[in-house]
Amino acid sequence: MNMFVRLAALALTVALTPSAHAEDWPARPITLITPFAPASTPDTLARVLAEGLGKRLGKAVVVKNEGGGAGMIGTNTVAKAAPDGYTIGVSVPGPLVNNRMLYKSMPYDPVRDLLPISVAVNQTSLLVVRNGLTARNLSELVAELKRQPGKYNYASIGNGSLSHLTMELLAARSGTRIVHVPYPGSSQAVMAMISSDVDMAVLPALAVLPQVKAGKLRVIGASTAKRSALLPDIPTLSEQGMSDIDAGAWMGIVAPAGLPAPIARRLHDEIVAVLNDPATRTLLGQQMMDVVASTPEEFKV
């Protein structure tokens, strides 16, 4: 075989390698990383998806929790993983969008190092207040905040979280000041309100609705631009005058950049099929998650 033939054969082999790998994928278990703690909402989504994907792909999908660093530790693991389809991750606005504005440096570049697969779900967050506050709607709450600026405080699930940024936006738009008190997670923030350590918070609906139904907290409004189909009776903050607040807590699936296109397409199609399954929709609906199942193009950050 002369040099030209050998080079042509090598080029053909390289060109065909991704397709061959794609045809064989998956040949072993897949790791689905969630950059937050067990029992968090991203973890809940990850476990629902893992079960459905495992059945469709014929290989186990193992959920691995890598919390910390405002979601950046686990997201960095996905970004630095081999782009072979065996490591994917759940992500939320913080590690992909918010942290780019809040941190001088990040261990990964969300645009360069990660491939968007699909926005899986959107989760409504609710502005709730402790029972000791008399406000029943947003205008009454803003009036009280303006009457006594700096007196009231709010809980969040950490600096840079949706619960933090939404409350700061509300304070800025209403021309008042509210003291920020961060907590490790939603459960601690809820207990702080029940015990009157803090006055209010914007938290996932799933975290607060049991206490609302028990009469221990009061809902002021939803943080999304439109009412959730799962919570049609709860008015949005936008409806009540804060027209520029649209803070839905979406969750999506990402993969390492460089993932071969055939694997990326199949991964997307299988995830969307799981999300659109009626049983999955019902299960996620019980967790106050609206299924989105977007295209990769719709997910680009």
Residue 1 has pLDDT above 60, yes or no: no
**Which CA distances in Å does 259 have to 231, 275, 286?**
38, 22, 33
In one-letter notation, the amino acid at residue 251 is: M
- The DSSP output letter for 211 is H
Nearest to 88 by CA among 234, 295, 225, 264: 264
Residue 151: predicted pLDDT:
93
pTM of the model: 0.78
Grade residue 21 by pLDDT with cuts at 50, 70 and 90: low
User: pLDDT tens across 78-123, in order?
Assistant: 999 999 999 999 998 888 988 888 888 999 999 999 999 999 998 8
Helix H segments across 58-92?
Answer: 72-80
Domains in the chain, ordered, with CATH?
28-121+251-299 (3.40.190.150), 125-222 (3.40.190.10)
User: What is the phi/psi pair of residue 170, to 5°?
Assistant: -60, -45
User: pLDDT tens across 218-230, in order?
Assistant: 999 998 888 888 8
Task: Please say whether the dihedral angle defined by the alpha carbons of residues 279, 25, 71 and 171, taken in this order, is positive or negative.
Answer: negative
C-alpha 282/C-alpha 276 separation (Å) is: 10
The helix/strand/coil state of 105 is coil
Please report, to the nearest 10 degrees, the dihedral formed by the alpha carbons of residues 256, 262, 266, 267 taken in order. 0
Q: Which residue has the higher pLDDT, 38 or 266?
A: 266
Radius of gyration of the chain (CA): 22
Average pLDDT on 217-242 reads 91
- The DSSP output letter for 71 is G
Report yes or no: 32 and 88 within 8 Å, Cβ to Cβ. yes
| DSSP-assigned beta bridge partners for residue 62 | 31
C-alpha 153/C-alpha 157 separation (Å) is: 14
Helical pair 3-24 and 261-276, crossing angle rounded to 10 deg = 10
Residue 301: predicted pLDDT:
65
**Helix, strand, coil: what percent of the chain each, to 5?**
45, 20, 35
For strands 114-123 and 249-256, give the pairing. Answer: antiparallel
C-alpha 7/C-alpha 284 separation (Å) is: 53
Structure tokens at 234: 């709860």
Structure tokens at 105: 């440096």
For strands 87-91 and 217-222, give the pairing. Answer: unpaired
CB neighbours of 4 closer than 8 A, spacing ≥ 6?
Answer: none
| E strand or H helix that includes residue 120 | strand 114-123
Longest pairwise C-alpha distance within the chain: 88
Residue 217 has pLDDT above 80, yes or no: yes
CB neighbours of 299 closer than 8 A, spacing ≥ 6?
Answer: 116, 117, 118, 119, 252
- The DSSP output letter for 69 is G
Residue 40: predicted pLDDT:
79
C-alpha 10/C-alpha 5 separation (Å) is: 9
